[in-house]
């Protein structure tokens, strides 16, 4: 006989201490802001401003891509990120998480380009014309 037919109803284990399903607790806007500032710690203020502006614009285009036609003004497009003062919903936290990820990807790309540019400049300075 196989195992399935051998087991009895009394032998089926019952989980008595199952964990409760916890309610969603928002991390807050400051958590995501700190993550972005930590990733951008080595940039100047003007570079940070430009990066955040580009990333926000790109993310809003991604979010609003399938919201409907622009001719209909009754649709509510996502036009800005959540305020610091209100409680965040799961949707808002997903957008802010995506914002942090896009920031890190953009910074990685920017840093590799900047390093390649620095290496090329340094390499050209190291080469000297011998007379």
Under 8 Å between Cβ of 40 and 21 = no
In a domain, 69, yes or no: yes
pLDDT, one tens digit per residue, over 6-62 is 555 556 566 666 666 666 666 778 888 888 888 888 888 998 898 888 888 888 888
In a domain, 67, yes or no: yes
In a domain, 35, yes or no: yes
pTM: 0.63
| Angle formed at CA 119 by CA 122 and CA 109, multiple of 5 degrees | 150
In a domain, 86, yes or no: no
Looking at the structure of the chain, the number of domains it has is 1
pLDDT at 108 over 80: yes
Domain of 38 in residue numbering reads as 27-78
């Amino acid at each position: 006989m196989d195992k399935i037919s051998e087991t009895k109803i009394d032998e089926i284990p019952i989980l008595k201490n199952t964990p409760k399903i916890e309610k969603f607790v928002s991390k807050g806007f400051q958590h995501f802001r700190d993550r972005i500032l930590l990733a951008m710690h080595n940039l100047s203020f003007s570079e940070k401003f430009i990066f955040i502006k580009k990333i926000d614009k790109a993310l809003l285009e991604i979010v609003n891509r399938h919201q409907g036609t622009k001719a209909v003004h009754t649709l509510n497009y996502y036009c800005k990120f959540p305020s610091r003062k209100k409680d965040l919903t799961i949707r808002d936290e997903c957008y802010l998480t995506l914002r942090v990820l896009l920031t890190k990807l953009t910074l990685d790309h920017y840093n590799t380009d900047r390093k390649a540019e620095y290496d090329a400049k340094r390499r050209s300075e190291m080469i000297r014309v011998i007379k």
